Structure 1
Amino acid sequence: MEQNKHIIHMDQDAFFVSVEMRKNSSLTGKPVIIGGTSDRGVVTSCSYEARKFGVHAAMPSRMAKQLCPHAIFIKGNMDDYTKASQEITAILAEKVPLFEKASIDEHYIDLTGMDRFFGCMKYAHELRQLIIKETGLPISFGLSINKTVSKMATNECKPNGEQEVQSRDIRSFMDPLSIKKIPGLGSATYIKLSEMGVRYIRKLIEIPPEMMFKAMGQAGLTLWHRANGVDPTPVVPYREQQSIGTQRTFAADSMNIEVIKELLVAMVTSIAYELRQKHKLTACITVTIRYANFETVTKQAKIAYTSLDHILISKAKELFEAVYNRRMLLRLIGVKLSHLVGGHEQIQLYSASEKHYSLYQVMDKVRNRYGEEAIGLASSLQLDW
């Protein structure tokens, strides 16, 4: 039953910034901003000291400089952030029976049943201390009966804190909070509920569920349940090999490499869009070719977490050049993205200018409305790479 669950939500504090501080301790306690350093750049992440000045992710760098002119801007290194994330995942894989990697900087852990052998709060505390000791990175956690309440508990005790919300305390914990604190509640939903006079969770739970369903459909009903501390979503075991991909078998064997290259770019663009639609990031890309004699050759590369077309296209091109090393007819080409995790917007912002990031947002909106083939990057039409 729901009451018997013991779910931990662990979240790195200002993850990108914390990794930079681990490399350079002189940054500790200072307003640090990760992202594009030019006026056309975008803020990817920022320290709590910078947040006090109103800086936040997705903000244009020029605005962040105006709000916090004494901030230290760092371009950052996604390879370092990916490796740090993998360090934490490796510790959890060794120490807990079941965990889900929800994103690059957060994990859910199911300790249900372990309370018979350990105190779950005691075990979670010791696990947090171990991660801090082994990685040198701050981390917070919330412990409760399901994912929603544990994540909200984490958010309330950050930075560098820990909190347990037992079943009997859920109402006293949640009721005073803004509805903005409910995971998954977007800005459009917040505006709609605010117009209805609903800004706090205590008010939201007074609305009959039938009315929420009528106003917002199934999403409204799910939101109402979460506001009531109900979330049956299970902790999904983490699997490194989870993947998405596509492949094409040619109608006739071909050596028209320019056309094949163009096809590969289009394939990568398609699955990168699918990746973003699923709010996922990839840390591994694989390109496969099959010669006319049915010999199949595969080459893969580990990459920093991303979901952006231009990064994936560039790596796919490199892999194709490496894997196609015989002047023979081809009958098939394929590309796969694996090592998937849930994706924060901060990853999509990384290495993107303000205009570049806006372009991806607009492109995805067009695809969502008119279909995947409605728009594409000009680079996917180039034949001379």
Structure 2
Amino acid sequence: MTAGKQKGRVIFHIDMNSFYASVEMAYDPSLSGRPLAIAGNAKERKGIVVTCSYEARARGVKPPMPLWEAKRICPELIVKAPNFDRYRSSSKEMFQVLREYTDLVEPVSIDEGYMDLTQTPYRDQAYETAVKIQKRLQKELLLPSSIGIAPNKFLAKMASDMKKPLGITILRKREVPQLLWPLDISEMYGVGQKTAEKLKTLQIEKIGDLAAADEHALKQLLGINGPRLKRRANGIDLGEVDPDRIYEFKSVGNSSTLPYDSTDERELTGLIDKLSVSVSNRLKRKEVMASKIFIMIRYADWTNITRSKTLLNPSDAADEIANEAKALFKRHWRGNAVRLLGVTGTDLVKRKEAVKQLDLFSFQEDAKEEPIQKLMEKLNEKYGTDLIQKGIKIVKKESNTSGTSFNKDFFQDGRKDQ
């Protein structure tokens, strides 16, 4: 990063290599250099490879491969069940190391994050600093990493993917046409399989095609995300490294694989009830409400369908979530044997900000409560805010069930109260 009158930003993206497998090797050095897979429900038919060592990948094993297939490809594969407490502990130690260099560290997940070194003494020794960080993580925590260095978050993320394991890559904006544009559109960060398929309807096959695409057509196809992806394809990303972003979340969901393929509607709707209770409890714990309910059905042949319904009013109630989820299931289930079901609440709004839209069905109930609400408002006005509230706020501790969540629960206990 060259010096000048107007210096650009210096952003790092740190990506831990085969994190779960690497943590297991750090705890048990006898696993080093051997084909290792971390698999959920390793002893059951539904076992799926969550991640694996590079030695296992070299033999053809890759996530999310079914465990039986991984063992067929690599008979000598060592399989361990996930130990999420161990991974959370290693993750916190990793981020503690990063925060020694800058306060601007944004965790993205349990094993990756951004650093902004622009206003630090390290900005003019970016590559050397990356080498030091990588060596420290390897020496102190026995964990390998790849680091991308760039003037923005998008390019830093793309750079960290270029050399694995133990890579350090600098990606400058002027190098985007040469290094990024020839890549297939599916290799671009932020473009999933479905988005890639949509983009190909516009003959966008490469990242360079997206960089030159018509912005109006992109907006029609993908909404506001279209122009944003085009800017990124041109190396433009104004997003800040925000340490508090890890505490934001967009969905709360839960899924469960049945112990056997089932066509029993009673059993399947019963599972949806249980999943809805779990989703409801987590929504309440986060003090948010869902505006949309998604269900996912995975059939015995591994085909998946997802369907959603926007609620009339945001909700965190288990029965409302379950009713909508079961209605979606009954409407779209083909009667085939089901392997997995999932229920997710999305388009979350904070409970305090949720505005109930009165309609013919809810008006009568709300009208009954209006005098009570006015009385509560008067008393709170006179004696202090929140002196009296309807109901009692109960903060439930989330169950310690093994697993990870999109809302980054593993960082919550490290957050400072505002």
TM-score by length of 2: 0.58
User: Are the counterparts in 2 of residues 142 and 162 from structure 1 also a CA contact under 8 Å?
Assistant: yes
What is the distance in 1 between the residues matched to 2:107 and 2:229? 23
Residue 172 (structure 2) pairs with residue 186 (structure 1): no
What is the distance in 1 between the residues matched to 2:84 and 2:74? 24
1:19-54 per-position Cα deviation (integer Å, ceiling 9, x unaligned): 111122232232211013232212211122323444
What is the distance in 2 between the residues matched to 1:109 and 1:34? 28
Equivalent position amino acid for 1:233 in 2:
G
Match of 1:24 in 2: 28
User: Are the counterparts in 1 of residues 107 and 246 from structure 2 also a CA contact under 8 Å?
Assistant: no
User: Are the counterparts in 2 of residues 17 and 45 from structure 1 also a CA contact under 8 Å?
Assistant: yes
The number of equivalent residue pairs is: 275
Describe the shift of the 1:178–1:242 C-alpha distance in structure 2 as closer, same or farther (beyond 3 A): closer
What is the distance in 1 between the residues matched to 2:180 and 2:405? 24
Question: 66-75 or 51-60, which moves further after superposition?
Answer: 51-60
Identity %: 31
1:33 aligned to 21, 32, 37, which one?
A: 37
The 3-state SS of whatever aligns with 1:100 is strand
User: Are the counterparts in 2 of residues 153 and 163 from structure 1 also a CA contact under 8 Å?
Assistant: yes
Question: 232-241 or 98-107, which moves further after superposition?
Answer: 232-241
What is the distance in 2 between the residues matched to 1:103 and 1:164? 22
Match of 1:333 in 2: 394
Residue 174 (structure 2) pairs with residue 168 (structure 1): yes
Residue 281 (structure 2) pairs with residue 268 (structure 1): yes
Describe the shift of the 1:3–1:195 C-alpha distance in structure 2 as closer, same or farther (beyond 3 A): farther
The 3-state SS of whatever aligns with 2:162 is helix
- After TM superposition, the structure 1 = structure 2 runs for residues 23-172 of structure 1, keeping only pairs within 5 Å, are 23-35=27-39, 36-37=41-42, 38-114=44-120, 118-172=124-178
Equivalent position amino acid for 1:95 in 2:
Y
Structure whose alpha-carbon radius of gyration is higher: 2
Question: Any unmatched runs of 5+ in structure 1?
Answer: 245-262, 278-307, 310-329, 338-342, 349-385
After superposition, the CA RMSD in angstroms is 3.5
1:112-169 per-position Cα deviation (integer Å, ceiling 9, x unaligned): 1336864222222222222222111101100001111101100111111101112322
Question: Any unmatched runs of 5+ in structure 2?
Answer: 251-275, 292-341, 344-390, 399-403, 410-418
1:70-93 per-position Cα deviation (integer Å, ceiling 9, x unaligned): 311111311111110011111122
Equivalent position amino acid for 1:193 in 2:
L
User: Are the counterparts in 2 of residues 144 and 165 from structure 1 also a CA contact under 8 Å?
Assistant: yes
Describe the shift of the 1:155–1:117 C-alpha distance in structure 2 as closer, same or farther (beyond 3 A): closer
1:336 Cα deviation after fit: 6.4
Describe the shift of the 1:163–1:187 C-alpha distance in structure 2 as closer, same or farther (beyond 3 A): same
Describe the shift of the 1:135–1:2 C-alpha distance in structure 2 as closer, same or farther (beyond 3 A): farther
Higher RCO (CA-CA < 8 Å; seq separation 6+): 1
User: Are the counterparts in 1 of residues 10 and 123 from structure 2 also a CA contact under 8 Å?
Assistant: no
TM-score by length of 1: 0.63
What is the distance in 1 between the residues matched to 2:88 and 2:114? 18
User: Are the counterparts in 2 of residues 2 and 145 from structure 1 also a CA contact under 8 Å?
Assistant: no
Question: 136-145 or 113-122, which moves further after superposition?
Answer: 113-122
1:65 Cα deviation after fit: 2.3
Describe the shift of the 1:2–1:176 C-alpha distance in structure 2 as closer, same or farther (beyond 3 A): farther
Describe the shift of the 1:147–1:333 C-alpha distance in structure 2 as closer, same or farther (beyond 3 A): same
Residue 19 (structure 2) pairs with residue 10 (structure 1): no
- After TM superposition, the structure 1 = structure 2 runs for residues 177-256 of structure 1, keeping only pairs within 5 Å, are 177-238=183-244
1:305-345 per-position Cα deviation (integer Å, ceiling 9, x unaligned): xxx99xxxxxxxxxxxxxxxxxxxx95422367xxxxx777
1:241 Cα deviation after fit: 7.7
Describe the shift of the 1:23–1:75 C-alpha distance in structure 2 as closer, same or farther (beyond 3 A): same
- After TM superposition, the structure 1 = structure 2 runs for residues 221-370 of structure 1, keeping only pairs within 5 Å, are 221-238=227-244, 267-271=280-284, 331-335=392-396
What is the distance in 2 between the residues matched to 1:332 and 1:272? 10
The 3-state SS of whatever aligns with 2:147 is strand
Question: 9-18 or 96-105, which moves further after superposition?
Answer: 96-105
User: Are the counterparts in 2 of residues 97 and 111 from structure 1 also a CA contact under 8 Å?
Assistant: no
